[in-house]
């Protein structure tokens, strides 16, 4: 069978399967490019069920790019709270501003123009262009990568640049003349629902008889994965510092880890250092104030993408000095009941929940 003939069969099988099996997802009920853009940003490295409630809330609050452009970043981050990869929210906001200033509030309609906006890379540009505007352009996400590695029995590491290019070329060659949006989504849908990382449901797969991995019974070893190194661990200490019934929180700098989010001040415990002396040191270095360290109110274990932390939270009293934002973007004394108005990292929310429960007793 020629490649072209095989591609045609794959196209038909996928489009037919998709027409009958596509999940009813909120962003599939709209043709609004803004809404589709928003969904694609939220779905970056994020599972569909996780993104859905965020998408609904966000779209209700900001129904157009112009509304989004006018919003404060703090408001956007609060809506993004818990979704992770917070630079997405910052880039979304910046892109909305550019869409208003450069494009009269309307999203660019081509892949190449979309690529110029912050937060939109190769995948997302292809997704918006094909799904919202019908441009005949491919996309490769984690799902498509896995499907293609199996169907075409590609043994190389898909993280390798040459393999990546091969996958994009395949995705392009596979594109049908029409219905590219549905076709691209069908590839992702298959990867998500049938051609799963483990225990793929080959017995239900519309491509089973076209799949080389299936023929060679290699669906369980493809795509080849690389061994990951163990994550480093850190011990962190933070202070819930009270003064006149209010708690001192700081806003992290705009870029980097958890950029723009609020947190309880503190920092890493150094080797050989006690928790209490580390907390005194960090508060002195970052805020230039003196505190009294009280009892430990929480220990939170949390895993980020590339390290673990064990966070010890201590109740503290402010003793002297007006806090200065030496290592952060801003400082604020807030009533405990106002903590939920601010966007906090997930690890800090566990501490906030403990404070809330204590308050009710």
Partner DNA sequence: AATTCGGGGGT
Partner DNA sequence: ACCCCAGAATT
Annotated catalytic residues are: 40
CA distance 344 to 78: 8
Residue 24 makes contact with DNA by CB under 7 A: no
Residue 28 makes contact with DNA by CB under 7 A: yes
Between 306 and 324, CB nearer to DNA? 306
CB of 182 to DNA, least distance (A): 11
Residue 347 makes contact with DNA by CB under 7 A: yes
Residue 72 makes contact with DNA by CB under 7 A: no
CB of 343 to DNA, least distance (A): 9
Choose, by CB under 7 A, the member of 69, 73, 124, 280 that binds DNA. 124
Between 8 and 46, CB nearer to DNA? 46
Contact 260, 254 (CB under 8 A): yes
The β-bridge relationship of strands 266-268 and 330-334 is unpaired
CA distance 347 to 82: 10
Choose, by CB under 7 A, the member of 48, 73, 77, 279 that binds DNA. 48
Size of the residue set binding DNA (CB under 7 A): 60
Considering only residues 191-220, where is the footprint of DNA by CB under 7 A? 191-192, 196-199
Between 136 and 246, CB nearer to DNA? 136
Q: Which helix (H) or strand (E) holds 144?
A: helix 142-151
CB of 206 to DNA, least distance (A): 17
CB of 292 to DNA, least distance (A): 29
Residue 121 makes contact with DNA by CB under 7 A: yes
Choose, by CB under 7 A, the member of 258, 316, 331, 339 that binds DNA. 258
Residue 272 makes contact with DNA by CB under 7 A: no
Between 125 and 279, CB nearer to DNA? 125
Q: Is 92 helix (H, G, I), strand (E, B) or coil?
A: helix
Q: Output the six-digit token pair for 185.
A: 């989504």
Task: Report the largest interatomic distance among the alpha carbons of the chain, rounded to a whole angstrom.
Answer: 80
Between 93 and 146, CB nearer to DNA? 146
Binding range to DNA, per CB under 7 A, among 56-64, 65-73, 104-112, 299-307:
299-307
Residue 233 makes contact with DNA by CB under 7 A: no
Q: Alpha helix locations (H) across 205-291?
A: 212-215, 275-287
Residue 169 makes contact with DNA by CB under 7 A: no
Best CA proximity match to 247, nearest among 125, 359, 135, 92: 359
Choose, by CB under 7 A, the member of 84, 134, 156, 336 that binds DNA. 84
CA distance 83 to 252: 17
CA distance 307 to 229: 11
- Does a cis peptide bond (omega within 30 degrees of 0) precede residue 223? yes
CB of 47 to DNA, least distance (A): 4
Best CA proximity match to 77, nearest among 238, 247, 251: 251
Best CA proximity match to 172, nearest among 207, 200, 137: 137
CB of 358 to DNA, least distance (A): 21
CB within 8 Å of 91: residues ≥ 6 apart: 41, 118, 119
Q: How far is CA 44 from CA 6, 83, 87, 113, 239, in A?
A: 30, 10, 12, 19, 33
Residue 294 makes contact with DNA by CB under 7 A: no
Report CA dihedral (334, 338, 344, 348) to the nearest 10 degrees: 80
CA distance 317 to 293: 7
CB of 274 to DNA, least distance (A): 25
Between 82 and 321, CB nearer to DNA? 82
**Binding region for DNA (CB under 7 A):** 25, 27-28, 39-40, 43-50, 82-87, 91, 118-125, 127, 141-143, 145-146, 161, 185, 188-189, 191-192, 196-199, 225, 227-228, 230, 256-259, 302-306, 345-347
């Amino acid at each position: 069978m020629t490649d072209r003939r095989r591609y045609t069969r794959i196209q038909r099988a996928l489009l037919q399967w998709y027409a009958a099996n596509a999940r009813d997802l909120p962003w599939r009920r709209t043709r609004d490019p803004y809404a589709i853009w928003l969904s694609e940003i939220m779905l970056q490295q994020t599972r569909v069920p996780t993104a859905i409630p965020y998408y609904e809330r966000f779209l209700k609050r900001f129904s157009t790019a112009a509304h989004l452009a006018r919003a404060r970043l703090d408001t956007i981050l609060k809506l993004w709270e818990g979704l992770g990869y917070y630079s997405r929210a910052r880039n979304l906001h910046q892109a909305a501003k550019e869409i208003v200033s450069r494009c009269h509030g309307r999203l660019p309609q081509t892949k190449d123009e979309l690529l110029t906006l912050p937060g939109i890379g190769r995948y997302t540009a292809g997704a918006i262009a094909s799904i919202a505007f019908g441009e005949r352009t491919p996309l490769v996400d984690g799902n498509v990568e896995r499907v293609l590695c199996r169907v075409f029995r590609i043994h190389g590491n898909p993280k390798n640049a040459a393999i990546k290019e091969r996958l994009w070329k395949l995705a392009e060659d596979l594109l049908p003349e029409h219905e590219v949006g549905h076709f691209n989504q069908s590839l992702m849908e298959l990867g998500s629902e049938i051609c799963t990382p483990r225990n793929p449901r080959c017995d239900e797969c519309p491509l089973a008889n076209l799949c080389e991995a299936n023929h060679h019974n290699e669906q369980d070893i493809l795509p080849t994965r690389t061994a990951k190194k163990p994550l480093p661990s850190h011990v962190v200490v933070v202070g819930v510092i009270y003064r006149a019934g209010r708690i001192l929180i700081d806003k992290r700098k705009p870029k980097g880890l958890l950029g723009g989010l609020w947190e309880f001040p503190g920092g890493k415990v150094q080797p050989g250092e006690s928790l209490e002396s580390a907390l005194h040191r960090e508060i002195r270095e970052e805020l230039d104030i003196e505190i009294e360290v009280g009892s430990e109110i929480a220990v939170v274990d949390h895993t980020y993408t590339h390290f673990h932390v064990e966070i010890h939270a201590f109740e503290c009293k402010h003793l002297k000095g007006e806090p200065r934002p030496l290592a952060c973007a801003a400082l604020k004394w807030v009533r405990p009941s106002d903590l939920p108005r601010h966007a906090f990292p997930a690890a800090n929310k566990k501490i906030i929940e403990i404070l809330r429960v204590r308050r009710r007793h």
